[in-house]
């Protein structure tokens, strides 16, 4: 069983009826898609999502407007950065040492012990604020990643415009909410996490990345073309997100779930470690500013409930909260259920 692949280019041709049926079935049975051949020239085809009231949003986008040449450079400099600057450090890192110790201390390979409080991952983060700390020994890394991040940020904003339309919100609503209001234009945070999941000698004992939902808004993932491992949780079952060459995987975080009043659910996902291959994973996060207040959009709240609830209190099913307060809680509870985090953020606010 795999995630459905929908070729959106066929919506404008003879295959439109069949493609619409695929989308309807996907909404009903899955709630998310792998999408191929998406053309971002007005996004009318995304209106097909509107008929489903609640869904996990996970897309794989190709023909997304980012050049193949740039994506190939990103792969090259990321792999070289790991080899030149990161691999020696990872070999001496805490995950490697803890796994070695667990193996040495275990009487048998099947004694049930696992490393459940650490990830078998090498990771660092890029943002505009830490540009001077970006990897400097890898030729072309800074220039390539700065160009890539600029293109990904534009793609993220285009995706948010699609969400605005699908949710019946004014164009630019989500971006403005993430900025913290019109008076705080471009204050939203855009960060990029560069990860590698090196070959693990005992993948049964540790995950590459433990199961979690993302705290923020829109996540744009450029994953490895060959080495898999990414899985999402659906109906109690972990489903592989198989690599599609040069696709960008889109999923939504907890703040989109709040803002959409539950129409779009944040996706539980994880990365399984593997004995073979060094998985590259470059995830960019378009998140609210820490000062932004996130709440369900009034247009998505039942009118009667909206009248009955006191001003300033939770709207619909989800709370009003300051994103910075939520992040303080998320740091401590990332790998736990998200619902208690929502409640705790309201108390903090």
- Please report the pLDDT score of residue 283 as a whole number: 96
The per-residue pLDDT for range 181-204, each reduced to its tens digit, is 988 888 999 999 999 999 999 999
Percent of the chain with pLDDT over 70: 75
**Higher pLDDT, residue 347 or 153:** 153
- Please report the pLDDT score of residue 72 as a whole number: 95
- Please report the pLDDT score of residue 15 as a whole number: 66
Closest alpha carbon to 157 in 18, 344, 284? 284
What's domain 5-348's superfamily in CATH?
A: B-lactam Antibiotic, Isopenicillin N Synthase; Chain (2.60.120.330)
Confidence of residue 246 (pLDDT cuts 50, 70, 90): confident
Residue with tokens 């090498």: 122
- Could you tell me which residues come within 8 angstroms of residue 128 by beta carbon, excluding any fewer than 6 positions away? 190
Closest alpha carbon to 116 in 90, 93, 95, 92? 95
Beta carbons within 10 angstroms of residue 18's beta carbon: 11
- Please report the pLDDT score of residue 113 as a whole number: 86
**What is the C-alpha separation between 333 and 213, in angstroms, rounded?**
11
The per-residue pLDDT for range 39-90, each reduced to its tens digit, is 333 333 333 333 344 555 555 655 567 888 999 999 999 999 999 999 999 9
Rounded to an integer, the average pLDDT of 190-219 is: 96
Rounded to an integer, the average pLDDT of 147-163 is: 89
**What is the C-alpha separation between 294 and 260, in angstroms, rounded?**
10
Closest alpha carbon to 131 in 175, 87, 190? 190
């Amino acid at each position: 069983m795999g995630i459905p692949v929908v070729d959106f280019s066929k919506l404008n041709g003879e295959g439109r009826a069949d493609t619409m049926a695929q989308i309807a079935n996907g909404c009903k049975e899955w709630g998310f898609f792998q999408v191929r051949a998406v053309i971002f020239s007005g996004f009318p085809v995304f209106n097909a999502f509107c008929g489903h009231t609640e869904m996990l949003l996970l897309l794989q986008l190709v023909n997304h407007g980012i050049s193949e040449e740039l994506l190939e450079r990103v792969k090259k400099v990321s792999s070289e950065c790991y080899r030149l600057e990161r691999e020696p450090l990872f070999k001496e890192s805490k995950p490697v040492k803890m796994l070695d110790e667990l193996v040495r201390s275990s009487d048998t390979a099947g004694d049930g012990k696992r490393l459940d409080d650490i990830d078998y991952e090498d990771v660092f983060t890029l943002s505009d604020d830490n540009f001077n700390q970006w990897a400097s020994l890898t030729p072309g890394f800074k220039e390539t990643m700065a160009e890539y991040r600029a293109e990904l940020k534009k793609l993220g904003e285009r995706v948010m415009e699609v969400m605005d339309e699908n949710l019946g919100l004014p164009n630019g609503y989500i971006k403005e909410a993430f900025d913290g209001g019109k008076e705080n234009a471009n204050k939203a945070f855009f960060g990029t996490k560069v990860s590698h999941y090196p070959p693990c000698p005992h993948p049964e004992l540790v995950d590459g990345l433990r199961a979690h939902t993302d705290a923020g808004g829109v996540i744009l993932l450029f994953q490895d073309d060959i080495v898999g491992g990414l899985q999402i949780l659906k109906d109690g079952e972990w489903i592989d997100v198989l690599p599609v060459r040069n696709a960008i995987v889109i999923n939504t975080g907890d703040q989109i779930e709040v803002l959409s009043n539950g129409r779009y659910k944040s996706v539980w996902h994880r990365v399984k470690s593997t004995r073979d291959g060094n998985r590259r994973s470059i995830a960019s996060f378009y998140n609210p500013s820490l000062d932004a207040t996130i709440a369900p959009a009034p247009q998505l709240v039942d009118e009667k409930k909206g009248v009955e609830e006191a001003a300033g209190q939770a709207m619909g099913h989800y709370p009003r909260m300051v994103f910075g307060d939520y992040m303080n809680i998320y740091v401590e509870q990332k790998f736990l259920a998200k619902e208690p985090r929502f409640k705790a953020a309201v108390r903090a606010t």
